[in-house]
Chains A and B, each alone.
Chain A
Amino acid sequence: MRKTLLISAAALIVFAGLSIHAFQSPPPPPAPGTGRLIVYGDMALFQPPGHPENCILRNRFKRGEPVGWRMFVADPSTGKREESAQLVVHLNVSGRTIDIPMRYRATERQPEREFWVAKWVVPQDAPIGIIRYTVTATDKYGRTGEFKPFEVQASQLTIVE
């Protein structure tokens, strides 16, 4: 009897321990204002409004075409937009870095456009091939974040003939 009770108690302790291990609650999210901003977005052709190809997704551009970036910044603890963020696109063209500040796109008339945009017209002397870029963000809490496109060669910003 005593032996049975001891086995039962030992088994219960082991099971309770395993249960706690398996179902322990996750740690609390980072406090507001801490952590790194999550920056993400895409690239599109930024022709003037009304142009049939305005805002179609692209990564291959000819000289003279307008490259457009659209970015979103998420607070890491809430996943929601961090509206105080300031974003800059950093292009590496022929070994030189070109910084293009982004502007927040939503307006009173178009409040649903909760993202940041920037445009760069490919210069006539731009080299043919891949142009690397990143996008950085900083918010009012001093948090920073960086976006890099997926590392797939064919998807990089590419200047074509």
Chain B
Amino acid sequence: MRALFGPAAAGVAALALAAGATIALHGQRAEGQAPPAAQGRGRGAPLPPPEPQAGHPSGKLIIWGDVASFDVPGTLPTHCILTNRFKRGQRMGFRMTAIDGGSGETENTAVLVAHVKYAGTTIDVPMRWRGQGGFPAAEYPRQPSEMWTGVWVVPADAQPGALSYTVTATDRFGRTATFSPFINVVSQIAIVE
């Protein structure tokens, strides 16, 4: 009996300790919200997960957004203007937000990916939450930003024409959402000469 229970007890205890350690680690990460000063515009090592938000989840996860020119440097006059027409080599920017439907607040645990249908394949463009990372206040007066962004550079050999895209999201509660732009043909993202 002792021989049977000894390893079993040790196993259960180890499992419990491991689970406890995992949750403790999660808590430590959640507390470490201050973005590193050298993060600049969000590039570099991934930031820790954001702090859990009280009252979430509630209702549906809802996402929405638009597309814009992400021309760089940021001083260019076309940087961040709304457009759905892009030239070869231009940086197509996807800007989205994710809302916890019940509270109406940003669901900052959402992970978003834009899916661009291009040349018979689907290109997945991971998006980055801009709520962390110390973005310039002059450009983003409402801090922290509720926005996620992703960039796809139009290939140099891209053929002119309309493309379609969707954006999907999943949050830490397992909720999912999909965004599709308004259906007007002319408003779809397009590659132009």
Q: Residues of A at under 8 Å CB distance from B?
A: 1, 4-5, 7-8, 11-12, 14-15, 18-19, 21-22, 26-27, 29-30, 35-36, 38, 40-44, 53-60, 70, 72, 74-79, 112-113, 115, 145, 150-155
Contact = CB atoms under 8 A, between A and B. Distances in A.
Interface string B52-89: 00000111111011111000000000011111110000
A38 B99 contact: yes
B101 A74 contact: yes
A155 B102 contact: no
Category for how many chain B residues contact A: 35 or more
B59 A77 contact: yes
B8 interface: yes
B12 A1 contact: no
A153 to B, nearest CB: 6
Contact of A11 (B2, B13, B85): B13
Contacts of A53: 186
A1 B2 contact: yes
B23 interface: yes
Contacts of A151: 140-142, 145
A79 B12 contact: no
